[in-house]
């Protein structure tokens, strides 16, 4: 399909994805072979394993047709390291944002394997050393406990993507020159609509809050008589449940999109956020563990020094001590001996416990990870909803504005007028949520 040349063109219908991309080139490339990606004339080199370890929701954005194509749009059937895979409808800065997060996660997987650097006090799976893939021995069992434990062993990312397309309905009276032909009127009107859509796109692109769109649904319960910007309304049960799950897994109420951009020539804005799951693989957790370990060692050293310090009991002469012992009854002496042996055993047991290093979760609480995230592991889920806004957009156009009648006269040339045009903005949002676990195929 040819790329639209005008911003007036709305989003096109999605085409089905043939499941051939992962097999394409598999017989011709080794796992460590480089793939040359040309993303809008920005060149990147990535191994096949690195590319195929990305989640399905991101691969669909990079290759919407499901195949590798060259610059001319021809399918590459025999992919080699000399071929150039052309990607024309994906922002390069978004691709760099993706690779930055995944490279960091894969470095943590290789350099800081959880089951090797931590004593978790439990039997764990052998960590994989494959870059983006797992060896068969590292695969979890089919039990839910083993699957949930994967979220503590491997670097994981929550992939949240928003595809937004909008429709503008200007509430503005338009007039044309008396001598304008029908073609000129159509051209003036198209230019006016294009300016409205560009201004609306800039307005929406500046809204970088993740959950702002979730609060703009037409299905929200708003107070009677309250404006949409004054009363955000109450989230429905499904929306609130989704937000709670995300906020308990790394997002927060003030989270921003990691990348947000409008597609050239379209009224489509794509946003992406990659949120690292706060488990045992993160640097923040390792810092907490090191701090807790230092505090424990400092306390143990202080107790050891205190137990080895000289006794401060005053010296008593041998004569007086013998006299005191004679005064004790036989029963009192026996009780003293029992107490002495009991204290000795207690101190000995305390020293033995101090010699045993505590396990990981005795030093740092085990991260509380929402197990419902497993429902989105390798299974992207989508949520679609509509929203509506009434706003005024500032435009600069050739024309004249009659404040008395509220009419805007559009002209092909002449003075530039700055006017605030009231617009009804209809917004369709599609969220795609997926959990990506690095190191597990």
Q: What is the per-residue pLDDT across 193-230, written as a single tens digit (0 to 9) for each?
A: 999 999 999 999 999 999 998 888 877 766 555 444 44
Is the CB of residue 373 less than 8 Å from the CB of residue 151? yes
Q: What is the mean pLDDT of the chain?
A: 80
Question: What per-residue confidence (pLDDT) applies to 322?
Answer: 53
**Would you say 325 and 336 are in contact if contact means Cβ atoms under 8 Å apart?**
no
Mean pLDDT value of segment 224-249:
75
Q: Which residue's structure tokens are 């809050």?
A: 209
Measured in degrees and rounded to the nearest 5, phi and psi for residue 203 equal: -65, -45
Instruction: Convert the pLDDT of each residue in 368-425 to its tens digit.
Output: 999 899 999 989 999 999 999 999 999 999 999 988 898 999 999 888 989 999 999 9
Q: Is the pLDDT of residue 245 over 80?
A: yes
Beta strands in 171-210 (DSSP E): 173-175
How far is the C-alpha of 148 from the C-alpha of 372, rounded, in Å?
9
- Cα–Cα distance measured from residue 432 to residue 380, given in angstroms and rounded to the nearest whole number: 6
Name 46's Cβ contacts closer than 8 Å, sequence gap at least 6: 34, 35, 37, 99
Does the pLDDT value for residue 125 go beyond 50?
Answer: no
What pLDDT is attached to residue 281? 95
Q: How far is CA 351 from CA 267, 297, 354, 361, 375, in A?
A: 70, 14, 5, 21, 47
Structure-token pair, residue 422? 């009231």
pLDDT band for 235, please (50, 70, 90 cuts): confident
Looking at residues 163-188, what average pLDDT do you find?
94
Q: What is the pLDDT of residue 75?
A: 93
The pTM score is 0.76
Tell me how far CA of residue 213 lies from CA of 166, 198, 209, in angstroms: 12, 19, 8
Report which of residues 136 and 86 the model is more confident about: 86
User: Distance (Å, rounded) from C-alpha 399 to C-alpha 413?
Assistant: 8
Q: 236-250, 270-284, 394-408: which has the highest mean pLDDT?
A: 270-284
């Amino acid at each position: 399909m040819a790329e639209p040349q005008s911003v007036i063109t709305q989003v096109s219908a999605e085409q089905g994805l043939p499941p051939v991309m992962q097999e394409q080139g598999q017989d011709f490339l080794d796992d460590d072979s480089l793939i040359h990606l040309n993303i809008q004339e920005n060149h990147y080199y990535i191994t096949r394993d690195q590319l195929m370890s990305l989640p399905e929701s991101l691969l669909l954005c990079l290759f919407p047709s499901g195949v590798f194509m060259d610059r001319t749009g021809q399918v590459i059937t025999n992919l080699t390291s000399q071929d150039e895979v052309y990607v024309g409808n994906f922002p390069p800065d978004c691709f760099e944002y993706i690779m930055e997060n995944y490279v960091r996660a894969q470095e943590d997987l290789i350099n800081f394997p959880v089951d090797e650097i931590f004593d978790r006090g439990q039997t764990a799976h052998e960590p994989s050393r494959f870059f983006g893939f797992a060896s068969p021995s590292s695969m979890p069992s089919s039990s839910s406990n083993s699957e949930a434990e994967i979220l503590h062993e491997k670097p994981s990312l929550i992939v949240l993507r928003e595809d937004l397309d909008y429709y503008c309905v200007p509430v503005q009276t338009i007039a044309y020159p008396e001598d304008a032909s029908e073609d000129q009127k159509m051209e003036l009107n198209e230019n006016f609509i294009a300016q409205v859509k560009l201004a609306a796109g800039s307005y929406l692109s500046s809204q970088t809050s993740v959950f702002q769109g979730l609060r703009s649904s037409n299905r929200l319960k708003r107070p009677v008589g309250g404006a949409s910007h004054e009363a955000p309304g109450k989230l429905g049960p499904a929306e609130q449940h989704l937000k709670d799950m995300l906020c308990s897994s790394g997002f927060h109420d003030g989270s921003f999109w990691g990348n947000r951009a409008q597609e050239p020539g379209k009224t489509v804005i794509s946003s992406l956020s990659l949120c690292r799951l706060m488990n045992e693989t993160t640097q923040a957790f390792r810092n907490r563990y090191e701090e807790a370990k230092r505090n424990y060692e400092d306390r143990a050293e202080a107790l050891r020094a205190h137990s080895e310090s000289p006794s401060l009991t005053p010296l008593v002469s041998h004569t007086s001590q013998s006299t005191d012992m004679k005064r004790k009854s036989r029963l009192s002496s026996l009780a003293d001996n029992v107490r002495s042996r009991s204290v000795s055993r207690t101190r000995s047991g305390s020293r033995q416990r101090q010699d045993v290093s505590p396990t990981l979760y005795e030093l740092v609480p085990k991260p509380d990870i929402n197990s419902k995230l497993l429902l989105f592991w390798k299974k992207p889920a989508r949520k679609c909803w509509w929203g509506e806004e009434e706003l005024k957009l500032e435009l600069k156009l050739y024309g004249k504005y009659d404040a008395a009648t509220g009419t805007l006269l559009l002209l092909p040339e002449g003075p530039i007028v700055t006017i605030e045009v009231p617009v009804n903005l209809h917004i369709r949002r599609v969220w795609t949520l997926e959990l990506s676990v690095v190191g597990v195929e």
